[in-house]
Amino acid sequence: MGTPNNPMVIGALLLFDQRLTLGGLQDLVHERLVSHRRFRQHVVEPAHPFGRPAWRDDSGFDLREHVRQLTSPTPVDDAALVDLTSERINAPLPLGRSPWTFELIDRAPTGSALLVRIHHCVADGRALVSLLGQLADESPDPGPGEDGFPHRPSPKPAPWRRFFGQLGGLFRFLTPRDPPGLLRRPLDGRKQTAWSEPIPLDSIKSIARARGHHLSDVLLAAVAGALNRYERQHGQIPRSVRALLPVAGPSEAAADALGNHYASVFVRLPVALADPQARLEAIARDMALLRSGGPSRIASGLIGLVGGVAPAIEHWAVRWGARRASLVVSSLAGPPMPLHIARQPLGGIVIWAPAPASIGLSLTCFGYAGMLRLGLLADAAVIDRPNELVAEFQTALDELGRDPTASGG
């Protein structure tokens, strides 16, 4: 799924108000993560065109090459932290070693930030959230998962609903590509990061309850609203686009198993609609079809089919699908209670999910300890001011929270 301009690397930023030590972090990672064999393996490319990459044990594994301190003359403030994470997110993961790094940053005035980069071939987001729990001093309660979408389909939908859901899912995969626009530009490969301030999850859930919709509907409507405002402010006429939405794999797949157990489906974001409530209603109708399970089953079947063919066909299929969407929107439910790592309270978490092939924008909502943060990862040729788009997301949420009957609106 990755390309030179779009490496499939998952990023995470863990924020602490107190200082972590490199030695303590290395001991913790050695004890809790290195026991997983995958974290001591690297990928070997095939010797011939029809071969497949394979995992191989790293005989010279050295933890110090994966867990290290990023030095700077002084601890970084919030603005410098944004610049530093953007710089490091572009650094290639080491070749010939297991594709992951933990980089410790001294944060002003007395805190720390931990930048984690793990290639998607190691695990999907759900498995990595489970690994985060293994780093914690506590045994976190995973919670109900309500604040996340990937949505798993209903276990036994009615036959007629299943039929029309699968039919609709097939048509989604046959739709034409998204037209050229602000989000569909040639990529230059330079990534930029941004993230929101923590947003109370209860405030988003209250909007969903008041409108009779799901929390994920509200998040997607806020993304559509943010894109509407961002495009208008940059002299563009807002155009509706499709987003790739990751969907969790079958429930029988162990949540803490490494590897990837997900597929992606298309969701239409009605960016062109001017009214926030109309955008929410349109997304809610679209998401109702996804919850029937048809599109996710089609996506899972296609992933299984494509994964069994020659790599050249697999790469073509990924590029074909990526041209039919303009962005990736992900959401993960993290631990609902605050955690401690290396005996220090973990204050916040930002996640950046990668985008495949030619897609230049990825937005990731992550819920932790009653708060949600939006993480934005964008190619500089697509979104050159990512902090502005993050601010518009908060504004769009505020619009959705207003009483639609107030002031005649």
Rounded mean pLDDT, 272-294 = 87
For residue 51, pLDDT beyond 80: no
Rounded mean pLDDT, 175-189 = 80
Lowest model confidence (mean pLDDT) among 61-65, 299-303, 369-373, 376-380: 299-303
Rounded mean pLDDT, 65-83 = 92
Domain containing 117: what range?
A: 9-44+53-135
Q: Distance (Å, rounded) from C-alpha 194 to C-alpha 180? A: 24
Per-residue tokens: 69:
């301190």
Lowest model confidence (mean pLDDT) among 232-236, 292-296, 376-380, 387-391: 292-296
Counted domains in the chain? 2
CA neighbor of 329 nearest in space, from 272, 389, 276? 389
Q: What is the mean pLDDT of the chain?
A: 83
Alpha-carbon distances of 132 from 33, 306, 330, rounded to whole Å: 9, 31, 18
CATH value at residue 59:
3.30.559.10
pTM of the model: 0.85
Structure confidence by residue, pLDDT tens digits, 134-151: 899 987 665 544 444 444
Whether residue 346 is contained in a domain is answered as no
Is there a single domain that holds both residue 82 and residue 164? no
Is there a single domain that holds both residue 250 and residue 378? yes
Whether residue 164 is contained in a domain is answered as yes
Q: Which amino acid is at 129?
A: V
Give me the percent of the chain exceeding a pLDDT of 90.
Answer: 58
Whether residue 409 is contained in a domain is answered as no
Structure confidence by residue, pLDDT tens digits, 87-129: 999 999 987 899 999 999 999 999 999 999 999 888 887 788 8
Structure confidence by residue, pLDDT tens digits, 21-50: 999 999 999 999 998 999 999 999 888 777
Higher pLDDT, 164 or 283: 283
Helix (H, G, I), strand (E, B) or coil at 210: helix
